[in-house]
Amino acid sequence: MTKPVIAVLGLGTMGLGLAQLYAQAGHRMIAFDAMPAARDSAKARLTQSLEPRVTAGKLTEAARDAILNNITITDDLAALKDARLVIEAVIEDLGVKQALFAEVERHVGPDAVLATNTSSLSVAAIMARLAHPARGLGLHFFNPAPVMKLVELVVPPLASSDAVDLARSITTAAGKTVIACSDSPGFIVNRCARPYYGEALAMLEEGRSASDIDAAMLKAGYRLGPFGLIDLIGADINLAATRGLSQAMNGHPRYHVFAALQKQVDHGHLGRKSGQGFLHPATPGEAPADGAEIALRIEATLANEAAVLAQESGLAPDDIDTALKLGLNFPRGPFESARAHGADRILATLTAREAAAPAHLKGRYTASPALAHLIGA
């Protein structure tokens, strides 16, 4: 059976990764970019990224060539006429995305599904100008797309079940774990991850060192501590995500934008890409004597945020746990961590933190009414 044709819009790192992902799953790919330099270099960049796997014997030369041959680069949106699924991976600008999809819709068939890879914008807003908004949804991949297993399937209110089913089946068949979620700020991972960074920044504000905090989380089994993760992602990217969520959530203190993060960006200390970050180029030292309490505090706030999201959206706790493990390489999901600590310790930790919170963080630690039940579920 012939597999559906898939199109990718944008040939930056994410778009090229998506072209590779579906091409290696056997789909014929149409890859569009408005910039000649991106189009002209796409095949060479993809070849270069595949070469280490060929050298290591993980990919044959024939398989590499098949991937490359499955991808057609174009500057003409009319070439998308046979695509059943179109995935946009251009800049995070609402107007740009809306205009692009409005143009794309003129060239695709009536049953084509249009998906955005946005990580921060409302999917419904992106699709608002479509003549047929039922075909629009979100497919949020994590970088690098060919490697990271999680895909958040974002379902806006007008999306049809047929569009959702097609996007899910094609992406699952390509080897991804697809978890559906509502079109709410931060979706699953970007929202539920905020306390991992935010609580570390709260402790930094209290006088704890970035080294102590990261070392505590490494000892608790995390691959990267909060500051190591900010340094990897980039303080500017983390700040933009935190600001966006804070605005979307009407400035709730759970999404407080900490001055230390703003200061890093103001000083150009963005992490690995600038050469200096909260910790980079240094590494964490030994875990402090109270490292377990640091980990408990962060994991309590992670569980509380996850419980708020579960209560709002109806997402299953297991799906949230899976998303955090696959999307951020966490060793445990927030509900798994909370169950290991026990509901009493989690709730006592949140109560103590709320009592001690400074004025600008009051309300940050108020426990979700659903938390105790979900930990015990």
Report the catalytic residues.
Answer: 119, 140, 152, 190
Angle between helices 235-248 and 226-233 (to 10 degrees): 100
| Short-list 156, 157, 158, 155, CA closest to 168 | 155
What one-character DSSP code corresponds to residue 86?
E
Joined tokens for residue 313: 């959206």
**Contact partners, residue 152, CB within 8 Å, separation at least 6:** 138, 139, 140, 179, 181, 187, 188, 189, 323, 327
Identify the DSSP state of 369: T
- Cβ(298)–Cβ(200) below 8 Å: yes
Phi-psi region of 362 (alpha: psi -120 to 50; beta: other; left: phi over 0): beta
Tokens 């445990």 identify what position?
Answer: 332
Q: Exposed, middle or buried, 249 (CB in 10 Å: 0-12/13-18/19+)?
A: middle
Could you tell me whether strands 136-141 and 113-116 are parallel, antiparallel, or unpaired per DSSP bridges?
Answer: parallel
State phi, psi for 118 to the nearest 5 degrees: -55, 145
